[in-house]
A and B are shown apart, each in its own frame.
Chain A
Amino acid sequence: MTSLTHLQRLEAESIHIMREVVAETERPVMLYSVGKDSAVMLHLARKAFYPSPPPFPLLHVDTTWKFKAMYEMRDRMARESGMELLVYRNEEAERRGINPFDHGPLHTDLWKTEGLKQALDHYGFDAAFGGARRDEEKSRAKERIFSFRTASHAWAPKNQRPELWNLYNARKAKGESIRIFPISNWTELDIWQYIALNDVPVVPLYFSAPRPTYEMDGQIFMADDIERLERVLGRRPEIVERSIRFRTLGCFPLTGAVESEAQTLTEIIQEMLLTTTSERQGRVIDKDGGDASMEKKKQEGYF
């Protein structure tokens, strides 16, 4: 008898989910945010359909405020996987110059929440893979793997379908869409370990290096585009070089860095296991709106 490891079981489950979606929906897409969870999800998709390329495009809902290194990685991975890359930017946000400094929560609302809805409508996707995990945040512990959204993209937490065994019901009315979370059951440690074991490429920002930084509200941020920062802020923040890395990646002015010397995957995992703060703490997004802010965002259509 061969006992499968937990990573093999998780991989098999994720691949099974992706194949079900491809078999049962009309126009699936993979939301690709370039972070480590997206990296693993993309790798699983390549495994699920090999030797075919994954039979759906990658969609990046861009805010224009991502780290440069993320844009580079995004373009590289699209090339390597042989998948079509779709980049969507909310025109209204672009026109109004929405940014994380002047517009606060509106930045996420317009670029990401609205941007995602518009992109799905624009291309007519009826199923979208997302890289959320249940261990990330309390309200996600109860999220289904298949999450149904109304035609207006609203999430109804009281009206989700029970999921039994590995039988997923992908039937839906016209206009409705599904968000599918194939790595729901992975933990942060699983993700890193899988990246290490499978040589999954990740953005170098996860590894520590001397980088230009500035402080704001007691957190350290990376000055990824100093000129743009200066233009938006109306002043040049004090730039200090620090040895930093990131535990999660998003818009550079919204993603707090940690001071770290971890330069290899093993060191990253070691540091993660020894830290005592949770992963999403570096993101400003969970804090506005109090206790249930992620859930509120989900009901509004944020991933």
Chain B
Amino acid sequence: MADPSSPTPASGPGYTADGLIATDIHAYLDRHQHKSLLRFITCGSVDDGKSTLIGRLLYDSKMIFEDQLDALEADSKRVGTQGQAIDFALLVDGLAAEREQGITIDVAYRFFATEKRKFIVADTPGHEQYTRNMVTGASTADLAILLIDARKGILTQTRRHSYLAHLIGIRNIVLAVNKMDLAGYDQARFDEIVADYRAFAASIGIVDFTALPLSALDGENVTTRSARMPWYEGPSLIEHLETVELDADAAQAQPLRMPVQWVNRPHLDFRGFSGLIASGAVAPGDSVRIVPSGRISTVSRIVTLDGDLDRAVAGQSVTLCLADEVDCSRGDVIAAADAPPQAADQFEATIVWMDDEPLVPGRAYWLKLGAQTVSATIQPPKYSVNVNTMEQLAAKTLALNEIGVVALATDRPLVFERYEDIRALGGFILIDRATNATVAAGMLHFALRRSLNIHRQPLEVSRERHAQLKNQKPAVLWFTGLSGAGKSTIANAVEKKLAQMNRHTFLLDGDNVRHGLNKDLGFTEADRIENIRRVGEVARLMVDAGLIVITAFISPFRAEREMVRGLIPDGEFFEIFIDTPLAEAEARDVKGLYKKARAGELKNFTGIDSPYEAPEQPEIRIDTSAMTVDEAAALIISRIIG
């Protein structure tokens, strides 16, 4: 450690406990075990001294061991960018691939502690994947440090970081004006930057922030207040981090919400509901309401391995027992009886797209919020937001790292809160049903009025009664396959046989539906999805009426077939894959369509210039090269009638 620019040993107020370790370890541990936890995110680029700052925080809190430091010094000389000095960027770098390619892949988490608090730092690198990574890192943060270079002032990236931090709901923003050593520790420069920032921050809705003049390299105002900037009277960065209010503490002031993760039922005499308390507090004797059912009960016990608790608060994982035998399962929310959350199925939300494949409006995605997973479709965005200028732009879709405001509809009611009120019940992720990738993060703003006011009309004659009258088990036989595979032919044969068996059926044929119900739709991806959605809804009404519904649509996308499956009660949906190789379907070319598609006269033709996603686990697969139409129809009927 001979280099003059190496960090100086810490002596700040945050780290005075060091002496205690040797002299009175019990006192030290007692103090450590009463520390609270603050999670924060650092935003800025390596050029702003971000890695230097994180490195210094780790170093000052003795989180860098000698062997790591030796390696760091050697690495600094070999590949560092600071000449002979320590390059802290290397300390906070991780994966070999990124080191070699000079790219950073995502969020890294670092840990350090002072006398008062333990800290988890989310470090997100600045590059083109920035939006996705920063939103990820910020989603768990109580505070954001926006690092800026005192020489450069407020830049586009500062605005972007501020917008994203505010979007994700971070209440504590720290404007860290770094490299004050290179700006002569000049108060006027600092004041100018703060004034600039204040004007900008107000324009995007940030009402409060804390500004600090820093030199991360020299350690000025990091742990101790700087002697070089006597004009600054506020706390050092560490002092500030040690005292800001924690989100978990703020959440305790709100009414009780506990999403039920798991029902604990070891034997008949015990039934507990396990979950992480999202907001409020709970004690035995409290009156609670199960949402969405609305049932009311009383908390009888808060059970833990270490004995029952008298009280539990937001941030704790507990198991609650209720005084009554009420229905409650995973996804339900146990809430304060007098202030329960609402349930709705249509919302306005902001979503951040995180996948290489852009958003497909109308397609069904899985939406996970708390312990609830539902199927959701997203409308085309109302607008997207340019994260550099905050401009609202017209948009038809959202691509990777794009942010937009959308309306979305779920297939069943979702218990929710506005994201700005309770993050745990307003934040959600979207999951692609085919690839299982997490494709977006979202924040619910409010339920759309139409969803709150349109209630389902309870019907006097139930679907069971309809089926009983027809003396049959209703079903949807969903034929899928390439154009010319034989769907309509086999579907017709099946319907004919069923009619002979006195079964009540109805056949929805792709071509016929497009002459009426769906004549406004074309063949773009979005239109094809809407086509299937409508047919799915019609099929749902018909099975409710007790019919055996037979549909013959190419329905090329797995996601849409799964969406329809989700609409139909379990056990009533049969996906029937008419498996004919493309070459054979094309050779038959009953309608001459393949010929047209090959000639370029027909766009988006399945199998030619639009994909067909074959079913992975269809209920029935018909190999048309191995059986006749009659055999196929007989096989299908034997499988559904049984």
Instruction: Report the separation of the CA atoms of residues A7 and B438 in the bound assembly, to the nearest whole angstrom.
Output: 29
- A171-195 toward B: CB 8 Å interface, digit per residue (1/0)? 1111000000000110101100100
| A142 touching B108 in the complex, CB below 8 Å, given contacts A19-B262, A270-B21 | yes
The answer to whether B303 has its CB under 8 Å from any CB of chain A is yes
The answer to whether A295 has its CB under 8 Å from any CB of chain B is yes
Contact for B65 among A5, A46, A161, A276, CB less than 8 A: A276
Chain A: minimal CB distance from B410 (Å):
16
The answer to whether A216 has its CB under 8 Å from any CB of chain B is no
- A270-296 toward B: CB 8 Å interface, digit per residue (1/0)? 100111111001000000000110011
Set of chain B residues within 8 Å of A48, measured between Cβ atoms: 274, 317
Instruction: Report the separation of the CA atoms of residues A23 and B65 in the bound assembly, to the nearest whole angstrom.
Output: 39
Q: Is the interface of B mostly helix, strand, loop or mixed?
A: mixed
Set of chain A residues within 8 Å of B264, measured between Cβ atoms: 49, 51-52
Q: Are A22 and B262 in contact (CB under 8 A)?
A: yes
Interface size on A, residues (CB 8 A): 72
Set of chain B residues within 8 Å of A171, measured between Cβ atoms: 366, 431, 436
Q: Taking CB as reference atom, which chain B residue is nearest A22? A: B262
Set of chain B residues within 8 Å of A68, measured between Cβ atoms: none
Stretch at the interface among A9-17, A104-112, A122-130: A9-17
Set of chain B residues within 8 Å of A173, measured between Cβ atoms: 436
Q: Taking CB as reference atom, which chain A residue is nearest B428? A: A167
Q: Are A19 and B274 in contact (CB under 8 A)?
A: yes
The answer to whether A234 has its CB under 8 Å from any CB of chain B is no
Q: Are B266 and A52 in contact (CB under 8 A)?
A: yes
Q: Taking CB as reference atom, which chain A residue is nearest B261? A: A19
Q: Taking CB as reference atom, which chain A residue is nearest B71? A: A291
Chain B: minimal CB distance from A274 (Å):
6
The answer to whether B84 has its CB under 8 Å from any CB of chain A is no
Chain B: minimal CB distance from A302 (Å):
15
Set of chain A residues within 8 Å of B303, measured between Cβ atoms: 50-51
Q: Is the interface of A mostly helix, strand, loop or mixed?
A: helix
Contact for A169 among B99, B317, B369, B436, CB less than 8 A: B436
Interface centre among A51, A139, A189, A193, by most B CB within 10 Å?
A51
Contact for A167 among B26, B110, B272, B427, CB less than 8 A: B427
Q: Are B97 and A157 in contact (CB under 8 A)?
A: yes
Q: Are A139 and B427 in contact (CB under 8 A)?
A: no
Q: Are B36 and A3 in contact (CB under 8 A)?
A: yes
Q: Are B429 and A164 in contact (CB under 8 A)?
A: yes
Instruction: Report the separation of the CA atoms of residues A11 and B117 in the bound assembly, to the nearest whole angstrom.
Output: 16
| A142 touching B106 in the complex, CB below 8 Å, given contacts A3-B249, A12-B276, A48-B317 | yes
The answer to whether B414 has its CB under 8 Å from any CB of chain A is no
The answer to whether B423 has its CB under 8 Å from any CB of chain A is yes
Q: Are A138 and B94 in contact (CB under 8 A)?
A: yes
Q: Are B261 and A162 in contact (CB under 8 A)?
A: no
Chain A: minimal CB distance from B173 (Å):
19
Q: Are B26 and A266 in contact (CB under 8 A)?
A: yes
Interface centre among A46, A158, A196, by most B CB within 10 Å?
A158
Q: Taking CB as reference atom, which chain A residue is nearest B139? A: A164
Set of chain B residues within 8 Å of A184, measured between Cβ atoms: 109
Q: Taking CB as reference atom, which chain B residue is nearest A192? A: B29
CB within 8 Å of B: which residues of A? 1-13, 15-16, 19-20, 22-23, 46-53, 134-135, 138-142, 157-158, 160-167, 169, 171-174, 184-185, 187, 189-190, 193, 196-197, 266-267, 269-270, 273-278, 281, 291-292, 295-296
- The 17 listed contacts between A and B (C-beta, < 8 Å) are A4-B316, A5-B34, A8-B316, A11-B317, A16-B261, A20-B371, A51-B264, A134-B109, A157-B97, A164-B139, A266-B29, A267-B25, A273-B28, A274-B21, A276-B66, A276-B67, A292-B99
CB within 8 Å of A: which residues of B? 21-22, 25-26, 28-29, 32-37, 62-63, 65-68, 92-97, 99, 105-111, 113, 117-118, 120, 132-133, 135-136, 139-140, 246, 248-249, 252-253, 261-262, 264-266, 270, 272, 274-276, 281, 303-306, 311, 313, 315-317, 319, 330, 354, 366, 368-369, 371, 423-424, 427-429, 431, 436-438, 441, 616
Given contacts A3-B249, A9-B248, A135-B63, 16 further A-B contacts (CB under 8 A): A1-B253, A7-B33, A9-B36, A9-B315, A12-B317, A13-B317, A16-B275, A20-B371, A162-B136, A165-B427, A166-B424, A173-B436, A269-B25, A292-B95, A295-B95, A296-B96
